[in-house]
Amino acid sequence: MSAAAILDLGKIPSKVNPELQSERDCSSLTPYISEITAIVDGGRNNTEKRRQIERILFKDPLFRDCAIDSVYKPRDEMYARGVERSVRLFALKEEYNWTDEEFGIAVYVINHQYSLGLHTVMFIPALERLSTEQQKAKWLHLARNYQIIGTYAQTELGHGTNLQGLETIATYDATTEEFILNTPTVTSIKWWPGALGKSVNYAIILATLIIDGKKHGMHPFLTPLRSTEDHKPLPGVKVGDIGPKLTFNTVDNGYLILNNVRIPRENMLMKNAQVSREGHFTSRGPSKANYSAMILVRVTIVNWCSVILSNSSTITVRYSAVRRQSTLDSSSEKESKILDYQTQQYKVFPSLATAYALFFVSKTLKNRYLKTYAEIMKGNFKNLPEIHCQSAGMKALSAEMTVELLEISRQACGGHGYLAASALGDAVASAKALVTVEGENTVLYLQVARYLMKRFAAAVSGERLSGSTEYLCMDPIKYSCPINSPGDCMNVSLLCQVYRFRAYRMISKAARMLQRDIEGGKKQHKAMNDNLVQLVRAARAHLLYCMMVDYKESMNQLQISVPVSKALNNLLVFFTVFNIVKNAGDFLETESIGLPQMEWLKETEVKMLAEIRPDAVSLVDAFDIHDNTHGSVLGCYDGNVYERMLKSTQNEPLNQCDVHYSFHQHLKPFLQRNNTSKL
């Protein structure tokens, strides 16, 4: 089809690009794609459920055009469309009686291009986890039926992860049985809550409780912000939007200033702590129980990272199978597919492997969280520190990996990856938000490190450990590298032993450095600050070991066909080896491996690229991501990249007229002046 026909008729060739079709025809995995899709979806019934939701949503232009809106519309229109989509989604949830899980699928299908996500992601979960049964009876049905719309307001302008430093205060007035909420300083202003700027009428506000001048820590307070009649801010409330971000501009992240805002005593969410009418404070369980909603979001972020990488891998692998550049064989007249270049594979396949790794890891982490949460609801807080450590650390590690790999994926698509219509730039910017949202990564790593120092001290004192830190009781003298031949580099169980010893040595080194400084006369806080870099390295090592174990064990539980097992195991081996080679210095320094083993691992890493190559397109096809979900002109199923790129220019506002008004206002007078002066 000619370029003119594409522009004039708006048509894309109906056939699949032969370049992409040949990949599918040559892959032995193609007949088994649906099997992998069922694994990703959690069963064939869930696959059909997702596809049914896709059919419902994408017959509506409001959802079908999400990608176009995010590229070509100004922010106020993007926000308005995001609110419209939110309302339509809520209506569809009621119309089709979607469960919370099915609604989550709908949000995934439209790639989170709506405005009121915090209502379901944090506001309702916080009500469920932080309220008493009486409070749930009063508030939950209002939130679930969208009679009120809420957000979760924790972060302040001057305080993010340091929750103990929050300056927003809630002072109890026993004479009126009310809490008085204030943001007394500039740094205490609530800043960043999603949907706060223009949308919500309620917020769960995290504030420091003060009774008779005494502070009682941070607690949640359900606070009305806007009138339910005309949506205007209530007395004492000043609220607005914080302005455009790098991405997610369908969401009105906001600021909130509170000046003597009074709420009833019953509006303090009292699942974990109570204030009586007389002003007596009592607590139930550790203070970290108030973070349960935040822990859930951190667990969810690991899954989001997997989804983002699945989208980007689909785009980059398909594009790399279509794009031809130069030749591998000088005698060939046809340029080579860039996916055939080993260097391109080394850019693209780590992202693909990590997408699958984080899928399995997030699934395991979610199950672990649900088990711990059920225990907490029964009053058993024993495993809360462990899940707090795991969720914080895995959120940090997965976000860090995702940002790095996404930028490499964008570069792997060359100049076309720089186009907004590729969707890769937006994906990079979106992932960068995950580095700081729900806890800045470095701070979270240090939370993990502090937990590890406590567990290591317990192990040294003779305590028998369990959970993710059980290995800290090992005897390092008994370790010898289990890789004794090149073939051992394919054995993930052996490689996990290497990861475990590296983590042990880095944690023990951090502990020794701390002990040395403290025994040398440094105060504890000074000793900690002087060893933060090593502590972060130790935390990463522990988390990467945990990630490998969870990935391997999740894979071992699958009952799958031989071709699928082979393809997924190739990714598992590559992911495991790739991250050893990437962190070669640590593994060598800790004597987890020697130089010969490192050479074998590097050879295995390159070997695995060739093993993955024949099935790369099938492996991204197995994600079964709808073209309207990833929203990229480069990554559609039909592979008609160049036709879609050309057609996308029709959506550019600059192309809606032959001559732009700026020509008449600026360029024409300039040209005329120059021509006149030369005459």
| Residue 431 parent element (H or E) | helix 424-436
Rounded distance between C-alpha atoms, residue 540 and residue 229, angstroms: 50
Question: What 8-state DSSP symbol labels residue 177?
Answer: T
What are the start-end ranges of the H helices in 583-654?
A: 584-589, 595-612, 616-621, 627-630, 641-648
Rounded distance between C-alpha atoms, residue 344 and residue 572, angstroms: 19
Rounded distance between C-alpha atoms, residue 192 and residue 151, angstroms: 11
Question: How long, in residues, is the chain?
Answer: 679
Dump the DSSP string for 411-424.
Answer: HHTGGGGGSGGGSH
Pairing of strands 202-211, 169-173: parallel
8 A C-beta contact, residue 511 and residue 527: no
> Annotation-wise, does 194 bind a ligand?
yes
Range list of β-strands (E), 49-140: none
Tokens representing 417? 């990856």
Total Cβ atoms within 10 A of residue 135: 18
Burial class of residue 679, CB neighbours in 10 A (0-12, 13-18, 19+)? exposed
Give the CA count within 13 Å in the CB-facing half-sphere of 461.
Answer: 8
Query: What's the 3-state SS for 434-468?
Result: HHHCCCCHHHHHHHHHHHHHHHHHHHHCCCCCCHH
Catalytic residue among 156, 167, 438, 611: 438
Contacts of 140 (CB under 8 A, 6+ apart): 124, 127, 128, 131
Rounded distance between C-alpha atoms, residue 105 and residue 119, angstroms: 16
> 283 has which bridge partners?
273
Active site residue 438: yes
Distance from chain centroid for Cα 426: 14
Dump the DSSP string for 343-397.
Answer: HHHHHHHHHHHHHHHHHHHHHHHHHHHHHHHHHHHTT--TTHHHHHHHHHHHHHH
Tokens representing 89? 């989604």
> Annotation-wise, does 104 bind a ligand?
no
What are the start-end ranges of the H helices in 218-291?
A: none
Question: Which among 427, 437, 426 is positioned nearest to 396, based on CA atoms?
Answer: 437
**Mapping DSSP to helix (H, G, I), strand (E, B) and coil, where does residue 257 land?**
strand
Nearest 10 degrees: CA dihedral of 629, 14, 406, 550? 70
Burial class of residue 214, CB neighbours in 10 A (0-12, 13-18, 19+)? exposed
> 255 has which bridge partners?
191, 240
Give the CA count within 13 Å in the CB-facing half-sphere of 87.
Answer: 9
8 A C-beta contact, residue 527 and residue 476: no
Burial class of residue 314, CB neighbours in 10 A (0-12, 13-18, 19+)? buried
Cα dihedral across residues 125, 127, 130, 132: positive or negative: negative
Please list the active-site residues. Answer: 438
Residues annotated in a binding site for FAD: 155, 194
